[in-house]
Structure 1
């Protein structure tokens, strides 16, 4: 199948609000794929190709794509093979190899295909082809029950392979997909509430547990073999040897644990989130110097401590469908010393007290979990509700990108800058970019900012309008993290628009120093 067909479908899905229309368009596409095209195509549609990250950033992609082809000729498998080559490039000369590969790929792609490829590589697909919609489309195209397809996707952790099995395998094979120790499953997700008491109104009696300022992990043990996965199901076993050794010592043979890991300071308080994440980005297999760390090397690093809040399997017994009360009892038995703190209660005052204690301990907040809830892998429902404070900062809009799909013709994605009064990252009194966001924008705000920013435009590049840095916008974030992507050395975490501040001038915006202080908070 030509890649252009995926681009057409992606744009069609993005241009409609109708879930039924999205499902219909995706189902037609899936039904026309060859068996070996199914898994790659699904990965492209959700912005998660099967190769994962291929070592190319946005600067690298945008600088080498070159002039587009006049006619569509690339196929789905052409792009898949190119990503294989990009992912395989390593060692001396790998940067040049990737640039050459991207240049050749860009020369074969039309302009629309180039844009699609860039978004696939950077994981920035905004087509509306979310996994829930695509799962329904797989069921429609394969004529399989939706619940069966959803469960297979959750338990396999691989929507592309689920699609291939649904479309080319038997009903029995699809129904036979189950929990397997060593194969990660999609994590259960939480909704949000403003307070612990409000969350308890939704859940009823619940386990109110600390929400740690760490990184989520899923740990599988079969005998002496232990594997550790991230929330995105990446295998990071080789990077966390101290977690592996701890789980090997637990009084159990086979187990699947859900939890978090974080680094602690000398007094037992959590270190900043980015210090934990720095361990996740090192010792990549196949890269230069990519062997697993030695005990001496780990000793020089900040040790990570695992804390567990759920157990999905113990010694041949699946616990996904058991109530949380049963799972917590098993968790206490096999890993009680390493359980995340919390209390079971139906009392709002108790829930609020636990929330205050979590914040006082330096954690993010709490998660309130209905005590009778099963583990709904890959789902976000009302059984788990997270509660954490939100940071807001006043930042300056530096540029705005044109939207796509439903936002076609509207200025959408904001480039956000903090004041740099001392000129630490540029000219004194200027602004340094710290992130982007298109989230939180209502239709009314989109229309307003499209008109407003064109009035204060200073220049244009393809897809972006650069503006006079005079507009202040209030942004909610979950924090910041170290990043080499932006000149200030930090990036916003989960930024979304709260409101525009026409009562403030750009000179009153928050500074880069204020944001960088969050790294030490």
Structure 2
């Protein structure tokens, strides 16, 4: 298949907000692909290359002097082979080799193909083919049940691999996918509760309430002495967290998959600021035996233990397994409380320096990668994770500093983030200095007052609520928004959606 067909489909998908139309366009493309092309095309149209990161940045591409070809001739297989060579180019002489490969690639591409490739290689390709839409398209193209495709994607963590299974193996191959120790699965997510009382009433009486720690989400896999640690975005950070690995190696088991959080603690056991936890990733060795420099793991779920997969078992069974292997590392919790007991537990969590609590149904299974009512989070204030779209230059004492933030909510259908407000409140001198230095590295353009950013940076915003507004395209605006912290542990694909913001309307 010609690359030009992929480029045309990408443009068509970007041009519509209809999920059905996106699925139709993608499904038609996949049906026309040769079977061995499908994993590559699926990867590209979800914004990544099959080879992963290949070390090509904006500066390299902007400095590239390659005139567009007169007509499109590139093929999917040819481009994929060239990207494989590019990813393999390392060591002495690699700079010149990589430049020559890029010239070969871009010299063979017409103008629209160059634009597509430039965005693909720099992580800027966002035409709306998010995981959910692509999963629908795979099911449509392969003629397989969508539930089977979604489950296979959940357990493999890879849409290209899921597409290959659907096309080459059909329902039997999709259904055979199970948990695999050492292969990360998408984490289960929580829905904000209207109130603690509502959560207890809707989930009770068979529920458990956990502290909601102010840490970084981790998923830990262990097979004998081999331990792997993943972030919420499934990034492997094993080498960066030796203190967590050491703790997990001490557990009395052969194989296990645990879900939890990691954070740093003060000498008195209180959590240190979230920024301290994030700064310790990969730096624990620098702190030696200093307890403040250690990342401490705490777990709230067990998906596998000693050969038994638990992901489809009720939470009550998963917690029983967790208690047999890591009871000392379990997040503080209370089982089957009434509203008054839950409120006391919530107050204790806040007094101990934590964010709030999580209420969970003991009957619920682990719905990886999805938000559902089986897990509900309760905090003392409304907070949302939004994407920074730009920042305005400050005035007065903030002259020369990037200050007022433009904030966007994620489009659940995969389009560009949708602006919902601005704020300069909550920005400390340290944050102002940081974002003035950092934001230009993510710039997509600027005018006399504003630096506009590629949607890559996520910020946690506290607000008093939302209101209807004709000023912003989503029809809703934040009320009294203020910055809590930046979230380097989250990508723009994990920000809160415009639907979640609209659901907060009175």
TM > 0.5: yes
Deviation of 1:61 (Å): 4.5
Q: Output one character per residue of 1:111-146: Cα deviation in whole Å (capped at 9) or x when no partner.
A: 433443344334344333221221122112111222
Match of residue 474 from structure 1: 423
CA–CA distance in 2 between the matches of 1:478 and 1:181?
42
Equivalent residues in 2 for 1:116-135, closer than 5 Å: 116-135=116-135
Secondary structure of the 2:335 match is strand
**CA separation of 1:433 and 1:56: change in aligned 2, threshold 3 A:** farther
Match of residue 250 from structure 2: 249
**CA separation of 1:488 and 1:50: change in aligned 2, threshold 3 A:** closer
**CA separation of 1:491 and 1:145: change in aligned 2, threshold 3 A:** closer
Equivalent residues in 2 for 1:82-481, closer than 5 Å: 82-88=82-88, 101-102=101-102, 104-205=104-205, 206-280=207-281, 302-345=293-336, 347-388=338-379, 389-390=381-382, 414-417=389-392, 419=394, 421-422=396-397, 429-432=399-402, 437-439=407-409, 473-474=422-423
> Once superposed, what is the RMSD of the aligned Cα atoms?
4.2
Q: Output one character per residue of 1:275-315: Cα deviation in whole Å (capped at 9) or x when no partner.
A: 43345468xxxxxxxxxx9x678668932111111100111
Secondary structure of the 2:409 match is coil
Aligned length: 448
**CA separation of 1:517 and 1:25: change in aligned 2, threshold 3 A:** closer
Q: Output one character per residue of 1:137-177: Cα deviation in whole Å (capped at 9) or x when no partner.
A: 21121112222222111111211101011101243222211
Q: Do the aligned partners of 2:404 and 2:424 also contact (CA within 8 Å) in 1?
A: no
CA–CA distance in 1 between the matches of 2:65 and 2:204?
54
Residue 24 of structure 2 corresponds to residue 33 of structure 1? no
CA–CA distance in 1 between the matches of 2:396 and 2:184?
47
Gaps (5+ residues) in structure 1? 283-292, 394-411, 424-428, 450-471, 503-513
CA–CA distance in 2 between the matches of 1:13 and 1:355?
45
**CA separation of 1:348 and 1:144: change in aligned 2, threshold 3 A:** same
Given the two structures, how large is their TM-score scaled by the length of structure 1?
Answer: 0.73
Secondary structure of the 1:430 match is coil
Q: Do the aligned partners of 2:264 and 2:277 also contact (CA within 8 Å) in 1?
A: yes
Deviation of 1:24 (Å): 1.9
Secondary structure of the 1:38 match is helix
Deviation of 1:223 (Å): 1.8
Q: Output one character per residue of 1:352-373: Cα deviation in whole Å (capped at 9) or x when no partner.
A: 4434433443333332222210
Q: Do the aligned partners of 1:74 and 1:108 also contact (CA within 8 Å) in 2?
A: yes
Q: Output one character per residue of 1:327-350: Cα deviation in whole Å (capped at 9) or x when no partner.
A: 112111211111112223353444
CA–CA distance in 2 between the matches of 1:346 and 1:435?
41
Which stretch shifts more, 239-248 or 106-115? 106-115
Q: Do the aligned partners of 1:390 and 1:477 also contact (CA within 8 Å) in 2?
A: no
CA–CA distance in 1 between the matches of 2:66 and 2:358?
48
Which stretch shifts more, 61-70 or 72-81? 61-70
**CA separation of 1:222 and 1:72: change in aligned 2, threshold 3 A:** same
**CA separation of 1:183 and 1:20: change in aligned 2, threshold 3 A:** same
CA–CA distance in 1 between the matches of 2:59 and 2:382?
31
Q: Do the aligned partners of 2:144 and 2:170 also contact (CA within 8 Å) in 1?
A: no
**CA separation of 1:193 and 1:309: change in aligned 2, threshold 3 A:** same
Match of residue 461 from structure 1: none
Q: Output one character per residue of 1:439-475: Cα deviation in whole Å (capped at 9) or x when no partner.
A: 2799xxx9x99xxxxxxxxxxxxxxxxxxxxxx8338
Match of residue 493 from structure 1: 459
CA–CA distance in 1 between the matches of 2:214 and 2:276?
11
Deviation of 1:65 (Å): 7.4
**CA separation of 1:270 and 1:65: change in aligned 2, threshold 3 A:** farther
Q: Do the aligned partners of 1:475 and 1:496 also contact (CA within 8 Å) in 2?
A: no
Q: Do the aligned partners of 2:388 and 2:457 also contact (CA within 8 Å) in 1?
A: no
Gaps (5+ residues) in structure 2? 443-455, 472-481, 488-506
Secondary structure of the 1:312 match is strand
Q: Output one character per residue of 1:399-427: Cα deviation in whole Å (capped at 9) or x when no partner.
A: xxxxxxxxxxxxx994223636457xxxx
CA–CA distance in 2 between the matches of 1:364 and 1:97?
50
Q: Do the aligned partners of 1:211 and 1:364 also contact (CA within 8 Å) in 2?
A: yes
